[in-house]
Structure 1
């Protein structure tokens, strides 16, 4: 049901552009409710985590330019709150194309400025529910300015070498995880959601895999 955006070849082209342009638990006696190769896939053994160590990590690959991500955002917010101790929820802003690069830059600027918590859902609402023109970096700067962020601070951080490097690293992770659409969730660098039937199932599969991974880590 989710729109697929780019092949691995296209991801390589995006990564190259960034380099050049500074640019989806049961008890032991229960049958597993989801199957490898259907609702989720097992990633290659050398696939990395987003962070090399720490808690079991659940990473949503998303974009502020993706309407499916906008629909999933409140569900994802509940998912984050429902995950057990020992599991951490993270976001990775995909830059599958030139149009999505400003959204990735905006995400990291908001994170650096400490306003991500109060602006994450609000940005989806403004863009897709209220239909504000929010696509370019200038338009994004206007959005954050309306939420108390100094426009110059936003632009300085969003266009910084640090953010460019982070987007470049993210592109490498997305390629290693074989992500070709959003929203997609990667669990501990080992599993990736795949053919889910609904956004609610995307959340359920994620919770099941995270709990299973946490149980195996104990």
Structure 2
């Protein structure tokens, strides 16, 4: 965890122009997964609202999204191994993310949930507590309930759990490109390289 935090600090400390052109190498900058590539190009971020590194990674993820080609989807998958002492919340937050995406309110909702944990330094006691935080942030609670209890949200949450196992996600934030390549943050020097390696892997066959 300390290494990840140090990396995040380095990303913010160095200017975008500090990085020279880099030849990205397997084993150093990315890992090739023994999985079939996705049918459509995509970048998937595995994260947790409880992870402080994921919170710090938000502006980096936003920068990567802006540089993606129009035909590439940026997807988010919430992991369920945090917090370890509250399984209801650990599993429910993935479903909550799916509900927010269905409502097209994920930008506001994600910001509110991160803020509650990392700026306000409060915890979620239950999914009812999560709902209240979202309502206070302006998310319509009736529409949220409808989306949260939908078969679509349940299916998407199950897919997040399945993807977490499929790609053997043990730490976050982690980016997987085209279902085939896992970015190794330890081999990258700054924010510019992070975006560059993602674009490089999108083109890699």
TM-score (normalizing by structure 1): 0.71
**C-alpha deviation, 1:81, in angstroms:** 1.4
**C-alpha deviation, 1:209, in angstroms:** 3.2
Which whole-Å CA distance do the structure 1 matches of 2:37 and 2:78 have between them?
Answer: 17
Q: Secondary structure at the match of 1:209?
A: helix
Which whole-Å CA distance do the structure 2 matches of 1:128 and 1:89 have between them?
Answer: 24
Specify whether residues 216 and 192 from structure 1 end up closer, same or farther in structure 2 by C-alpha distance, changes over 3 A only.
closer
CA deviation map 1:81-130 (0-9, x unaligned): 13344433221112235242122121111111221122322321232012
**C-alpha deviation, 1:64, in angstroms:** 1.1
Alignment of 1:116-135 (within 5 A): 116-135=106-125
Which of 97, 106, 131 is the matching residue for 1:107? Answer: 97
Aligned to 2:198: 210
8 Å Cα contact 1:2/1:181 also seen in 2: no
Aligned to 2:141: 151
What 5-or-longer segments of structure 2 have no aligned partner? 6-20
**C-alpha deviation, 1:183, in angstroms:** 0.3
Which of 174, 178, 189 is the matching residue for 1:188? Answer: 178
Specify whether residues 119 and 149 from structure 1 end up closer, same or farther in structure 2 by C-alpha distance, changes over 3 A only.
closer
**C-alpha deviation, 1:184, in angstroms:** 0.2
* Residue 89 (str. 1) matches residue 74 (str. 2): yes
Alignment: residue pair count = 183
Higher mean C-alpha deviation, range 108-117 or range 182-191: 108-117
Which whole-Å CA distance do the structure 2 matches of 1:118 and 1:165 have between them?
Answer: 22
Tell me how large the CA RMSD over aligned residues is. Answer: 2.7
Which whole-Å CA distance do the structure 1 matches of 2:25 and 2:173 have between them?
Answer: 19
Which whole-Å CA distance do the structure 1 matches of 2:56 and 2:139 have between them?
Answer: 26
Which whole-Å CA distance do the structure 2 matches of 1:204 and 1:42 have between them?
Answer: 21
Aligned to 2:161: 171
Higher mean C-alpha deviation, range 66-75 or range 90-99: 90-99
What 5-or-longer segments of structure 1 have no aligned partner? 4-29
Which whole-Å CA distance do the structure 2 matches of 1:107 and 1:210 have between them?
Answer: 23
